Structure 1
């Protein structure tokens, strides 16, 4: 089978054996794999040797004896396996079933959506509270839609008009084009109290976004860092509101835990309610129930052999390459 990998900073489409399953893993025939351009270009830029891709959908071909939540022949979504390949091998905790009627192109964004969903878990919002989503790249778009589906009041902002229009096309109305517009909208929506949380999904080191977020939140509000942003801030601003700043790590508890990811061991449901896999399950439920509209995010579909072309397009026109997919099979 063919798989994409980074070798000393260059992209290689390699011929490798089809992986073998274990008792607690599955083998999946890939249908679509989402291109996470930021992560993948970073891996290539830093010369990291690794197989590429982590967010996909496909059909289970083999399932180990210890896998009881998906079965052979079923469509699944995946977060965490190396998915830019004809087949991928995944731990039981990396996959979740998804309804047959769901468009597999939308389902392929499952892994990226799970990262957005975990950011909202870290925000710990309640019904009716206000969240600002700052930065409308692919993670910000997904976070805003998931927050809207959860009935939070969502106010989003990006400086790129195309990204703002994309979120509006998905059905969200409170989308701002400048910090000043966002400031005024937050004041209006909260009667001057401030937002309960700001979710920073932007990837920039040039601006002190935390300082701006501190201006927008309420007293004792929260800031959740999801994107790769400058983490410097004004201590006096933080003190004045006794604000809480936290960071969201990937897709939820279990990520980067070898026992959870490689061995397929779960955390007790009563102690860790939302794990990586349970977040993945929840994304599948939201998408299957029609609460999310991801079609506007799809900006290009490529074959595996065209991955270099997809990367080049993403570098040259980032505003026009929101959601890139690789298609496998006939």
Structure 2
């Protein structure tokens, strides 16, 4: 099979063996139909691939071609959304544990399902914020992840205020009647009016940049006892005085939810008890599929650019050289 990797800061297509399901009763073998490029994460991996090979990708969907003996919820021929490296990459075939896939109904477009990994990450970020109905959330940075968070928060009836310095990204959310702004002054004025100058219940930082002034600014935007949630690749540099003055909470959202990076949950495919860990990464993935299926969120704006598998390395080059302003690109395998 073919797979896309970063090798010495270049993106390449290599040949590898199809993974075997033998001895994996809790796994399925998936023939990939679409996978999603996540520019922030994957360009970071590309940057650290000097003198080594790094596998790329973590969100995809495809057709089940084989099932382990313990699999009962899907069968050969079913479509599934899959999430999470090292089980999900830009590979022609994926060997996925039962805790990291969700069945895709016929009413969901395959390309929509391919965004499932990003959807799970967006959902988990909102769960970390632990907002209640009617509370105000400010979302800073409207890349594909920030966009998804804003859409899901809006569907949950939170009061959403979003900001990005790119007008085009701001306009995408305005189509969903979400309050979004391309200047800080406009965003702050909307926040002042909506909260009667009390401040947001939470600010989600979805922008990149290790040393960002946003870590200081966001503390001015939250209310007393409000929350700052780091979602993007930002160094947590928060001034003590500002945090102390508001008794602010600092939270970090890690990937798609409980279970991520736990070998028992992922590699051994042993799920956490539903009663005690309600929203695992796998259940967040299922929830994304439900939201799309029930038309609670519209993700079609992220599906406009599909690239053929063999052309993917050039598309990574365009993203790396900032020749493309696209939020994400969908890789087509067939």
Q: Identify whether the pair has TM-score above 0.5, normalized to the shorter chain.
A: yes
Judged with a 3 Å threshold, the aligned counterparts in structure 2 of structure 1 residues 166 and 216 are, in CA distance, closer, same or farther, namely same
Summarize the alignment of residues 23-172 of structure 1 with structure 2, pairs less than 5 Å apart.
23-47=25-49, 48-80=52-84, 81-169=87-175, 171-172=176-177
Displacement of 1:308 in angstroms is: 1.5
Summarize the alignment of residues 1-330 of structure 1 with structure 2, pairs less than 5 Å apart.
1-21=1-21, 22-47=24-49, 48-80=52-84, 81-169=87-175, 171-317=176-322, 320-329=325-334
TM-score, normalised to structure 2, is: 0.94
Displacement of 1:299 in angstroms is: 4.2
Say which SS state the counterpart of residue 3 (structure 1) adopts: strand
Q: Which runs of 5+ in 1 are unaligned?
A: none
Displacement of 1:37 in angstroms is: 1.9
**Paired residues of 1:299 and 1:321 also in contact (CA < 8 A):** no
Displacement of 1:30 in angstroms is: 1.0
Displacement of 1:168 in angstroms is: 1.9
**Which stretch has the larger CA shift, 94-103 or 312-321?**
312-321
TM-score, normalised to structure 1, is: 0.95
**Paired residues of 1:29 and 1:59 also in contact (CA < 8 A):** yes
Distance in 2 between the 1:289 and 1:24 partners?
29
**Paired residues of 1:205 and 1:228 also in contact (CA < 8 A):** yes
Distance in 2 between the 1:77 and 1:33 partners?
10
Query: How many residue pairs end up in the alignment?
Result: 328
Displacement of 1:297 in angstroms is: 1.8
Displacement of 1:216 in angstroms is: 0.8
Displacement of 1:78 in angstroms is: 0.8
**Paired residues of 1:30 and 1:83 also in contact (CA < 8 A):** no
Say which SS state the counterpart of residue 264 (structure 2) adopts: helix
**Paired residues of 1:260 and 1:266 also in contact (CA < 8 A):** yes
**Which stretch has the larger CA shift, 299-308 or 213-222?**
299-308
Q: Deviations over 1:213-252 (max 9, x none)?
A: 1111111011110001132122111111111001011111
What is the alpha-carbon root mean square deviation over aligned residues? 1.4
Displacement of 1:319 in angstroms is: 6.3
**Paired residues of 2:83 and 2:116 also in contact (CA < 8 A):** yes
Distance in 2 between the 1:123 and 1:74 partners?
34
Judged with a 3 Å threshold, the aligned counterparts in structure 2 of structure 1 residues 321 and 83 are, in CA distance, closer, same or farther, namely same
Say which SS state the counterpart of residue 305 (structure 2) adopts: strand
Q: Deviations over 1:292-323 (max 9, x none)?
A: 11111234211121112111222344762112
